[in-house]
Structure 1
Amino acid sequence: MDFIALDFEIANNDLSSACSLGMVFVDGNQKVKEKYFLIKPPKLKVEKSFSQVHGLTEEDLKEERTFDEIWEEIRGCFTKDTLIVAHNAFFDMSVLKSCLLHYSLEVPEFFYACSIPISTRGLNGFKVGNSLKARVEHFGVTLDHHHNALSDAKACADMVLKCLEIKQRKSLQSYCKTYSSIPVHSFADLNPQTTFYTRIKRKNVRKSFPTVSVSDITPSTKEFDENHPLFEKNLVFTGELSTVDRAEAMQLVVDKGAVIKSGVSGKTDYLVVGKQDPSVVGPDGLSSKERKAKELMKKESKIRILKEKEFLQLLS
């Protein structure tokens, strides 16, 4: 194979919780084969926020094979002779290595590259967000079902092939050698990320709503989609969210390139409002943050108040 494009989806915060894998095999600059697997993750725990992204549930996965069983079928694909490609490859390679380590499987030696710098060279100076969706739209590549692992892997492969065509290179290997800004990494040397977001240690200072320190929330990625509606926006949270933990929600937000603030001001773009404790905020159910936001809105402030459902829709 010239290269194999792949994509993982995960079931929960643990990167060993792979729940689907798509693989597209490219030889002679043609897609020649594809594989798609649903994977039963350890403990069969699918968190709601992850299911909302890829649509998979515990019911979908309960009868599927575990990763160690699937690995027996695909491990021969991961050799020094074939380059593995993924969009935001550090994430997918971290998932793969976390799964191997979880099941005490031998770590193979192979090389991988990320399609973000690969496609950046093909942009020829155009400024396009780093997300797979933004990149494939620019190149006119079809993405049928975003966050379906096989659909994402096919789009990644097509985008790489489009870049080879634009730059008139015969192979991905020669393409990567031509441009020093495209690193090719050794999988054996990878120090993997093991969790999707960092859980925050908190003290229950109120009986219902534990606090989260804004300073504890830092991005877990260096790549941001500059076209995402939350990119470089200022957000404030108030109240308890019912479908996602506050710390998790904040982590997802900063990973979109947003900035979390502790208080509402004229620079606030969004106030995310969850369930309030009447014994704390009073009978009208409004926190001091929401009251201040409403006062600012009367003065034609740009701030927008989001209920939890609206926030999740904007996030995804």
Structure 2
Amino acid sequence: MTTSSASRVSFIAIDFETANRDQASVCQVGIAKVVDGEIVESTSWLVKPPTGLSDFEPRFIDIHGITPAEVKRSGISWQESLQRIFSFAGDLPFVAHNTSFDKTVYRRASERVGAAVPAMEWFDTLVLARRHVAAPNHKLPTVAKALSLPDFSHHQAEADAITSARIALAISHRQQLHTVQELWARPVGNIRTPSRQRRRSTPQRFSRVGDLPTANTEAHPSHPLFGHHVVITGDVDGFSRDEFIIKVAELGGQPQLNVTKATTMLIVAAHQYIGVDYDHSNGTGKEKKAAEYKAAGQRIEFVGAKMALEYLTASIPAIKQRPAQRPRPAQVEIPPKETAPVAGNLPFKPVKQPSKPPESSPIPAPTIRPRSAPLPSETIPKLGPSHQDAASTTPRSQHPRKPAYRLPRIVIAGISWTLLVVAAICVALFLIASTAVLFSGDYPEVTFFSWVIGLVFIVPLLSLPGLLGYFLLRRHKKHQRRGLNV
């Protein structure tokens, strides 16, 4: 990258990967060192999570590709990692993309192992990107593409750290800002960056309470947004403010512009997750007001940006409507057939004609089951741990199945490899022995024909345990990719 000769931008770009949702479960560290506007060194290493090796979630393994076996083989402790970080960084400040995540990982992992947490100076390239880069969203790959930076392997800690450093240097060169303090200084006066100009040039559709859409009463009652009065503070990546409001209404929630006594959910887009360490005192006015209402006894759920995206993109089947009943035709009494009067009998009394058939009643409107009584045939997918309590009140069936006992993955993997190795050894010993007997001449009854017959019939039999092991291993790998516990 070409940088200005006068650039004095120096910092340490850092990135963490975690094993699960617990931000103390750091499993990889990536660092890139920038001195006078140039990346002079970078490195990464695996870390044994302070939360333990057994807590890797399959979804996180799919994201970054780091497995417990790799960490166990070459990972180091978090205490050693802290020593490496400080020896590498010296007195330089830290830079990361979305520092709220990396700072929390750094602090919570240190607290988990009982290590002191030295106060470090942190700067956020996400803030720079929002201020200086016009893009659909400001995720790391999107910003890198908008700045024409080289491709990289996302969610590899060293590659992410290098890309964060390149973003800072690109903006530094573009804006002719030559120190970290100048680069992250807040804009003053009437300075407008491209992203701000784009936001202000697009009028907001829902600027008054009367403009807000009403909640969709036909949405699925088990969706985590259904029935909630939802307020957002900040911007959720991938959704404009108006798109967010429309989506919430479609899913059965009632969007609001401000926190009121009717509010039951506040989405805090500035935080990826809302943990026990969440501090509303440094948040927006909406966060502080919601916290006051919650302290006074109002039931308000605080939701981070990651969980909000899961809510908005969750796949929930539409509510099933009962088919409309066709109106039955009105029953008409058919009079008996008229006959001529018979002499001696009473004169014929005509039968009273039936009244005009009533008009068909309109087709009755389909009925919607209330939230508390879903149809038994519906299958409600599991969305996430934060709303399992809400979903648990809606049973999937009247008679839930007992969970089947499943062997641990390491046991199945061990059995599979044992069967494969045993079968391979048996086949190899048979081939060596039979070939030696054939060519030794000590057994004239063993001919080439009998040797071929032995290969055709005996080798497959010896290979059966190996085939069974291969099948178990394939099934184990398949379920591991899907994130299931086989």
Shorter-chain TM-score above 0.5: yes
Higher relative contact order (CA 8 A, sep 6+): 1
Matches of residues 107-118 of structure 1 in structure 2 within 5 Å? 107-118=117-128
Q: Residue 264 of structure 1 corresponds to which residue in structure 2?
A: 318
Question: What are the equivalent positions in structure 2 for 1:169-188 lying under 5 Å apart?
Answer: 169-177=177-185, 179=187
Deviations 1:294-316 (A, max 9, x none): xxxxxxxxxxxxxxx9xx9xxxx
In structure 2, list runs of 5 or more residues that go unmatched: 1-8, 190-221, 252-303, 321-377, 383-394, 400-478
* 1:110-189 to 2 correspondences below 5 Å: 110-123=120-133, 126-177=134-185, 179=187
> Residues 214 and 115 from structure 1, CA distance in 2 versus in 1: closer, same or farther, beyond 3 angstroms?
same
CA contact (8 A) 2:15 2:30 kept: yes
Distance 1:279 1:120 in 2: 47
Paired residues of 1:7 and 1:153 also in contact (CA < 8 A) = yes
CA displacement at 1:11 relative to structure 2? 0.0
The one of 72, 78, 94 equivalent to 1:84 is: 94
How far apart, CA to CA, are the structure 2 residues paired with 1:179 and 1:91? 24
Corresponding residue number in structure 1 for 2:56? 46
- Is the CA contact 2:12–2:32 (under 8 Å) kept in the aligned structure 1? yes
The secondary structure found in structure 1 opposite 2:66 is coil
Once the two structures are TM-superposed, the CA of residue 75 in structure 1 deviates from its matched residue by 2.4
Q: Which of 63, 71, 77 does residue 82 from structure 2 map onto?
A: 71
- Measured after TM superposition, the shift of residue 261 of structure 1 is 9.3
Identity %: 23
Q: Which one has a larger percent strand, Structure 1 or Structure 2? A: 1
Spell out, residue by residue over 1:54-103, the C-alpha distance to the aligned partner (whole angstroms, 9 max, x if none).
Answer: 11111111121121122122224566x42211111100110000111111
How far apart are residue 278 of structure 1 and its match? 8.8
Q: Is the 8 A contact 1:39 1:67 kept in 2?
A: yes
CA contact (8 A) 2:10 2:180 kept: yes
Deviation at 1:262, TM superposition (A): 7.6
CA contact (8 A) 2:135 2:146 kept: no
CA change 1:263–1:110 in 2 (3 A) is same
Q: Is the 8 A contact 1:8 1:18 kept in 2?
A: yes
The 2-side partners of 1:72 and 1:122 are apart by: 35
- Of Structure 1 and Structure 2, the greater helix share is in 2
Rate the CA distance shift 1:116–1:60 in 2: closer, same or farther, 3 A. Answer: same
Return the alpha-carbon distance in structure 1 between the equivalents of residues 232 and 110 of structure 2: 22
Specify which of 238, 249, 259 is matched with residue 226 of structure 1: 238
Alignment check: 8 A CA contact 1:38 1:61 kept: yes
- Ranges in structure 1 where 5+ consecutive residues have no aligned partner: 182-210, 237-249, 282-308
Instruction: Normalising by structure 2, report the TM-score.
Output: 0.41
Shift of 1:174: 1.7
**Cα distance change of structure 1 residues 251 and 109 upon mapping to structure 2, 3 Å threshold:** closer
Correspondence for 2:40: 32
Q: Partners in 1 of 2:59 and 2:44 — Cα distance?
A: 22
Residue of structure 2 equivalent to 1:20 = 28
Distance of 1:265 and 1:144 partners within structure 2: 43
- Look at both structures and tell me which one has the larger radius of gyration over its CA atoms: 2
| Displacement after TM superposition at 1:172 (Å) | 2.5
**Mapped contact 1:78–1:108 kept (Cα < 8 A):** no
Q: Cα RMSD (Å) of the superposition? A: 4.1
Q: Equivalents in 1 of 2:232, 2:31: separation in Å? A: 25
Q: Distance in 1 between matches of 2:379 and 2:59?
A: 16
Aligned CA distance change for structure 1 residues 221 and 142 (closer, same or farther; 3 Å): farther
Runs of 4+ aligned structure 1 residues displaced above 4 Å come to 211-216, 218-223, 231-236, 250-253, 259-263, 271-275, 277-281
Shift of 1:13: 1.7
Distance 1:255 1:213, change over 3 A: closer
Counterpart residue identity of residue 131, structure 1: K
The number of residues matched between the two structures is: 232
Deviation of 1:280 after TM superposition, in Å, equals 5.2
CA contact (8 A) 2:33 2:89 kept: no
